[in-house]
Amino acid sequence: MMSVSALTAEQAANPLINPPKTKFNMPAWDKIKPEHFEPAIEWAIEKAYAQIEEIKAVSLGDANYENIIEAYEFTGQDIGRIVSVLSYYTNNAITDELVDIEVEQGAKLSEFSAKVGTDVDLYERIKKVAKSDAPMNDVQRRLTDKAFKGFEEGPLSLGAEDQKKYLELQNELSRKTAQFGKNIKNHMDPSHKYGLKVVVPKAEIATRLAGVSADALKPFTDEATGDVIIGALPESMDILEQCQNRETRKAIHTNWTGRGNIGALNNDALASDIHHLKQQQAQLFGYDTVVDATIRPDKRAAGTPDNVLNILHRIRDVAFRASKDIYDKILVEAAADGITTYDADADDAARLCPWDLAYYANIVNKKAGGIDPEEEKKYFDVPVVMEGLKRSMKRRFGLVLEETKDFKMPHEDMQVFYSKKPSGEVDGIFIVDLYQRTTKRGGAWMDQMRPAGMVDGEWQVPITLVNCNYGVDKKSQLISFDSVETLYHEFGHGAHGHFSQKTPYQSLNSINISWDAVELPSQFNEVFAGLRRHFNSYARHAETNAKMPKKLYDKLTETKPSLQLLRQNEFGMLDLELYSNPNKISSMTAFNKAAFDRTQLIANKTDNVMVNQFSHIISGGYSSGYYSYVYADFMVSAMEDLFEKHGQKAVNAFKREFVSIGCLKTASEAFDNIYRALGEPVQPLSPDGYLRKNGYGKYLDAADAEGTSGPNVPFSFDFKRP
């Protein structure tokens, strides 16, 4: 960092430019204000340009690893530091002002990246080192190849006019993706003028919300009026499991699915524009579509689009058959209320509708001996679950978490944990933000705020941000087992980011690996939440402290076909069909409905569609990559087999060969090394093994008997229902 004496008085007073001294260089959250970001980013960009000029001042004859590659790696670290703080605020403490700042500064950062990425003098020096015969160790070679490939595949490969076009497209993408997310956030905030909500006056609760427990309504109950105000929040779906009033169920479901689809905040045109901008960028680089640019053997563990599509077709065929059986069981229970069909042409009064599924599925589950959702939650109190998670992370990964009050955080809900080595030395920081707020984006996620590495000559421990969105009564803090698994999932990502500390370089210690493998640590960590002995240590009844009876535990954790597999497959198919289409799409709503109509057994007769709220593939990083969740399931299934055979040795090998490796190896190589470390032959990943192990065997057999999917059946987005 520049010395304080080199700064103006205004810069020296800016906590993002001249951060106050804090433990482990944690951001000074209590001093940062929105007006600090613009001058800080401008300062950081100016500093980075100066660093680039120093690199270019090295003659080609004197170019070597240290003065070119390593110097380039350390360039712009202040930009990353400041942007990570801005990213926190635009996700966890969103305001319209901050979103506008993000858009405006994003344009400046895009211009900076484009200028650096098209700097011929800089490229020539990086190329000189990359092509030289100078000896390098594996880490140095990896960093050099990464820098060289970034230029070879970046905007430098374009002509002057296309470089200008690339920057224009990037700026438009930054602006439109920010607006896409902003619209969804505002729809989810019931206090916003465009916020979506279902209001049930206190006097009507008994009839309109009949069957819904007081605990389920607490997070939505206005303390002053007693009215229930249900926003477009994930927790509103829990009410559907209990609500006997069908009209109320419809209102709540329509409200939830209305995000990004209704009124002034309708995202249809934005989603279409974003899709088209991404396709134009891919085409600038010589690819037909985003799918072709993204799913390549050098970028994705799955290898090729054909391989991914054949996998999804196999799963679609099998999951559709299983889902039909599940819907038939649901229909048996719904018949008592006059609902006798899921034929799309039937009248809604007799047709099983989307807002009915959770309610009747809950009845089916309870009749089969499953636990009532409200009773289930009584076993999972957030603070107790958190203690169980900490024990699991220590047992499985050697990750010791100790809460600290050393930092003043932006919100009182946030907890901070040190990760400590056996010696007591702090080797990482976890910021944990578990609860829902109207200023926080929905969902659950992990952010590698600061990868480990050298910054300004000083080793920086990693800072990892773990987010959930528990909409709970803070006095009871009771959640479902699905929510428990979500916490373990995000801490699996967190462990991945935390343990990547093998090099001095933040870019190699990041978890920016093949996108279809990045979900492996998170989904594998979910497995440990359900191991019976560990489960008993944290799953205690809130009123009696009793363990969950084995019969209920078995039902809760049993492996069986579910509607979730077809749902995830539909999302993955939608993503790939969308980004396989090179043309401008006039109506994303119509496109989505046509895609889902192939496999949806319960017809959606509204204009509320997934794509207009699908942040992962529209404004996030999962374009042509949502299949990753399904693909990671195959990897997790393989890890479960190794764990069953080798026990903790398999987890140790997983940590050593995959979780701790960062970007030093490809994800496929790192995964195969787990087998090698255990003395096992490397096994190819296959959907069939995963499906059979998870209860889909008879549906696989039926698909094979009818020849509707498999290695010899060509893929098509069109689907002939079995």
Alpha helices in 647-686 (DSSP H): 648-654, 667-677
Find tokens 């373990």 and name the residue.
488
Q: What are the beta bridge partners of residue 221?
A: 228
Here the CATH number for the domain that contains residue 570 is 1.10.1370.10
Whole-number pLDDT of residue 582: 97
In a domain, 517, yes or no: no
Are 535 and 525 in contact by the 8 Å Cβ rule? The answer is no
Is the pLDDT reported for residue 627 higher than 90?
yes
Here the CATH number for the domain that contains residue 542 is 1.10.1370.40
Alpha helices in 118-245 (DSSP H): 120-130, 138-152, 160-188, 205-208, 214-217, 236-240
- 411 lies in the same domain as 324: no
Whole-number pLDDT of residue 570: 96
Integer Cα distance of 134 and 150 in angstroms: 21
Is the backbone of residue 409 left (phi > 0), alpha (psi -120 to 50) or beta? beta
Tell me the average pLDDT of the chain: 94
Is the pLDDT reported for residue 4 higher than 70?
no
- 387 lies in the same domain as 535: yes
Instruction: With CA atoms as reference, report the closest residue to 217 among 206, 207, 230.
Output: 230
Give the model's confidence band at 2: pLDDT under 50 very low, under 70 low, under 90 confident, else very high.
Answer: very low
Q: What percent of the chain shows pLDDT beyond 90?
A: 87
In a domain, 710, yes or no: no
Give the pair of three-digit tokens for residue 613.
């709220």
- 120 lies in the same domain as 64: yes
Cα distances (angstroms) measured from residue 182 to each of 124, 188, 257, 261, 615: 41, 10, 16, 13, 11
- SS3 category, 148: helix
pLDDT in tens, 516-530: 999 999 999 999 999
Integer Cα distance of 453 and 659 in angstroms: 16
- 614 lies in the same domain as 646: no
In a domain, 309, yes or no: yes
Buried b / exposed e along 36-57 (16+ C-beta atoms within 10 A): bbeebbebbbebbeebbeebee
Is the pLDDT reported for residue 140 higher than 90?
yes
Contacts of 551 (CB under 8 A, 6+ apart): 369
Is the pLDDT reported for residue 1 higher than 50?
no
Mean pLDDT over 357-368 rounds to: 93
Rounding to the nearest 10 degrees, give the CA dihedral for residues 636, 637, 643, 644: 160
Rounding to the nearest 10 degrees, give the CA dihedral for residues 42, 48, 54, 58: -140
Mean pLDDT over 335-348 rounds to: 93
Whole-number pLDDT of residue 146: 96
Integer Cα distance of 1 and 77 in angstroms: 9
Give the model's confidence band at 446: pLDDT under 50 very low, under 70 low, under 90 confident, else very high.
Answer: very high
pLDDT in tens, 77-99: 999 999 999 999 999 998 889 98
Instruction: With CA atoms as reference, report the closest residue to 464 among 435, 503, 491, 504.
Output: 491
Whole-number pLDDT of residue 441: 84
- E-strand ranges in 349-452 read 400-404, 415-420, 426-435, 445-450
In a domain, 712, yes or no: no
- 319 lies in the same domain as 408: no
pLDDT in tens, 458-479: 999 999 999 999 987 777 789 9
Hey, what amino acid is at 544? Answer: T
Last residue of a domain, one of 221, 243, 264: 264
Whole-number pLDDT of residue 715: 85
- The answer to whether the Cα torsion of 95, 100, 101, 106 is positive or negative is positive
Q: How far apart are the first and last CA of the chain?
A: 64
Instruction: With CA atoms as reference, report the closest residue to 131 among 181, 63, 43.
Output: 63
- E-strand ranges in 346-422 read 400-404, 415-420
Whole-number pLDDT of residue 604: 87
- 632 lies in the same domain as 575: no
Q: Are strands 426-435 and 463-470 parallel, antiparallel or unpaired?
A: parallel
In a domain, 342, yes or no: yes
- 431 lies in the same domain as 534: yes
Q: What's the structural domain count of the chain? A: 5
- 483 lies in the same domain as 602: no
Find tokens 């958190």 and name the residue.
386
Are 300 and 515 in contact by the 8 Å Cβ rule? The answer is yes
Integer Cα distance of 610 and 257 in angstroms: 8
Integer Cα distance of 655 and 658 in angstroms: 6
- 255 lies in the same domain as 311: no
- 527 lies in the same domain as 606: no
Integer Cα distance of 470 and 386 in angstroms: 13
Integer Cα distance of 709 and 715 in angstroms: 8
Are 196 and 438 in contact by the 8 Å Cβ rule? The answer is no
Angle of the 96-117 helix axis to the 160-188 helix axis, nearest 10: 160
Long-range CB pairs of 78-81, under 8 A, 24+ apart, other chains included? 78/1, 78/43, 78/44, 78/47, 78/48, 79/41, 79/44, 79/45, 79/48, 79/109, 79/112, 80/506, 81/44, 81/450, 81/455
In a domain, 654, yes or no: yes
In a domain, 460, yes or no: yes
Give the model's confidence band at 443: pLDDT under 50 very low, under 70 low, under 90 confident, else very high.
Answer: confident
Range of the domain at 239: 196-264
Helix or strand run (H / E) with residue 468:
strand 463-470
- 526 lies in the same domain as 492: yes
Mean pLDDT over 550-576 rounds to: 94
pLDDT in tens, 164-196: 999 999 999 989 998 999 999 899 989 999 999
In a domain, 102, yes or no: yes
Is the pLDDT reported for residue 587 higher than 90?
yes
- 597 lies in the same domain as 685: no
Alpha helices in 581-713 (DSSP H): 588-597, 615-618, 628-646, 648-654, 667-677, 687-693, 697-706
